[in-house]
Amino acid sequence: MQPAESTVPKPSQPKAAKKQKAATRDTAEFTEVRRKKVPRSSNTQTHPPHGLVGRPWTSPNAFAALAERWTVGYTHHTLSDDDVSSTTIIPEPDAHVADLHHDTAGEFVTCMNIDAGTPTATVVPLDVLLAELAALDAASHLAVSTHQAEVEAAHTDSNFDMAALVNAVRVDTLCGHLSSHPVEFGIQLHHLLAHDRPTFEFFVRQRLLHRWLRATWGGTSSFDRLYTQTFGKVASKANIIELFTALAFPDDHETLTAATENGDELSLSRFDFELVLAIAEVLLAAHGPLFFNSEAALLATTGALVGVIASPGAMRCLSSDTMATVLLTTQLGSELWRLLEVVYASDEDMRRILLTLHDMYELGQCDLTTLGQVQVHESAPCLIVNTNYHGKLECVEWLASIRVIDVWRTFHPHVRLYSGPGRVNRLDYLFIDHDLATNLCTSASYLPNTFGGDHLRHSVTLSHTQSPSSRSYWRLPRELLADPHIILGIRQEAALLLEDMIAAPLANHGAMWYGWLKRMKGRLVKCHRQYLEANTTTLHHLQLRVAAAQRAFEVNGFGAADVGAAKLALEQASAEHRQHAMDRQFDFHANTNERGTSHFFRRPQGTKVPITCP
């Protein structure tokens, strides 16, 4: 057995697979997962995290203080024996003692611990995490010195037969061996990949089911019991294969998409994405056990909280969001990408999936690290994605997806009215279906509350009579910002505004900013009008070209190719114009105009700056 040279990779982005045409596996074969309705016992109730109520999950400067004191790199060590090689990723923590700007006193991070199969949120002081990183540094040096002996022992002494356990669906036993014998687990995993590919694929699907069921019900029951009570069948190889033949996600979570710069669309099924994350998690647990089991190392590497999935006893899995963060955004992820490329070097479909995933992340149109954790719905017979909609953007996207609108705002696009207690915000809304509001809504208003409450009454009138037409408010189309001249003009105007603000530090900068927004909006409206007029002029010019080509063909008898080319250009321009004019989903690609908040409408201190719009 010859040890290969240990290498320390430089910080880099995750490497992509060899460029190929992006494609995904066909998911048309999948159908909905049906779940047997059975009474749930106390052991199969869903297990949300316990521990935190009404307090933040991390202190304001915890991650900043952690990052300036420790950085966690890694080294990978490879040993080869005949046709089998074993790679171990060992953390390399690096302590810093200079340029410390944040104190650790009072700083904390919430960590998820597994207590009797249930995830529990525990507030951990930052000093405890720093001590854990110091202990990890010592453990890493020990792991380097004992690496060769561990690999040799894993080759000579076998503690389990992975293929037999996979075919017998002993999922919990496999989890235990992954935790206690990671080196041997990795060797047997790669042996399955090379010599028994069907068993390897069956193991990956077992791992997917394990993650989904544990994310829903926790780790207090065995995998066999959870499978039986969820799907109504015994957890056998035949039943699991049949299950994955009929597996699908709900329609709203089935496919992830992103548009490329040349107008093409990349698509990736949620099943394929979960498949990659499950394999990457197993590779991390087998090849980098110190990383996988260290909360502090993952916190320092990702710069984000670590989500976990409970497993039996004190074992755990990493949530989909955490695994996606590790795989796509960290230096450690580049090593996992290399291992994935080795695993699927001969699998053209999986190489396309990996390439598509990498390209979608690089485009930045879809945040793949906040998609939520796949679970089995506790009442519906299907798989769902558990996402906590806690932000304005997520709420707006949800409202848009169910096609409802705020009717009052469409009638009063510029009115600033507050309906909540104290009249400091508008808390009361009536959202109505878009088509219903367009055809039947005639008025919407807020009225004084004559019933003794502290909110204004909200009234919307639906009628078969024709609604009075009103001028709609203008929205900025993104196509307008594709013009480099407009971008340059906005930047120059913003630079002039910044100079004025710096030159007048005592002026009302909020009013100056809002006035600048009004001026820029007026100019953009004018540019938009000219843009539409130019499109109309182009259509008219193309129509004249078609007429002239037809007349020349009728008079001279030749020039049919010119007539065809002119008609083709007219059809393409007309189709583009019609698409922009009839696009009913315009709100999805248009940006709502930025409006000043109450901070900018506060009373000026000592001076008044008039807001003028030339």
Structural contact between residues 30 and 248, judged by C-beta atoms closer than 8 angstroms:
yes
Q: Give dist(CA 287, CA 417) in Å, integer.
A: 59
The 3-state DSSP class for residue 476 equals strand
At how many degrees (to 10) do helices 320-329 and 270-287 cross?
A: 80
| Vertex 47 angle, CA 42 and 51, to 5° | 120
Beta strands 108-115; 84-95: pairing state: unpaired
The 3-state DSSP class for residue 456 equals coil
Q: Give dist(CA 9, CA 562) in Å, integer.
A: 60
Q: What Cα–Cα distance (Å) separates residue 322 from each residue in 110, 186, 211, 351, 370? A: 14, 21, 13, 22, 9
- 43-59 core/surface letters (b: 16 or more CB in 10 A; e: else): ebeebebeeeeeeeebb
Predicted confidence at residue 468, as pLDDT, reads 55
Spans of all domains in the chain: 2-386, 392-462, 492-601
Predicted confidence at residue 391, as pLDDT, reads 57
Q: How many CB atoms lie within 10 A of CB 419?
A: 19
Instruction: Collect all residues with Cβ–Cβ distance below 8 Å to 231 and sequence separation of at least 6.
Output: 33, 34, 35, 36, 239, 243
What 8-state DSSP symbol labels residue 445? E
Task: Kindly write down the DSSP assignment for every residue of 195-254, as one continuous string.
Answer: H-HHHHHHHHHHHHHHHHHHHHH-SSS-HHHHHHHHHSS---HHHHHHHHHT----GGGS
Predicted confidence at residue 469, as pLDDT, reads 56
Structural contact between residues 332 and 301, judged by C-beta atoms closer than 8 angstroms:
yes
Predicted confidence at residue 17, as pLDDT, reads 43
C-alpha dihedral, 523 to 527 to 529 to 530, nearest 10°? 140
Beta strands 457-462; 441-447: pairing state: antiparallel
Give every residue of the chain whose pLDDT is below 50, as ranges: 1-54, 380-381, 386-390, 583-596
Predicted confidence at residue 277, as pLDDT, reads 92
- 79-115 core/surface letters (b: 16 or more CB in 10 A; e: else): beeeeeebbbbbbbbeeeeeeeebebeebbbbbbbbe
- Phi first, then psi, for residue 99 (nearest 5°) are 55, 50
H helix or E strand, kind and range, residue 108: strand 108-115
Q: Give dist(CA 580, CA 583) in Å, integer.
A: 6
H helix or E strand, kind and range, residue 109: strand 108-115
Number of residues in the chain: 614
Q: Give dist(CA 95, CA 114) in Å, integer.
A: 29
Which of 84, 83, 19, 87 shows the shortest CA–CA distance to 335?
A: 87
Q: What Cα–Cα distance (Å) separates residue 239 from each residue in 205, 213, 224, 268? A: 12, 16, 12, 26
Q: Give dist(CA 588, CA 222) in Å, integer.
A: 45
Beta strands 108-115; 118-125: pairing state: antiparallel
Task: Write down the pTM of the prediction.
Answer: 0.56
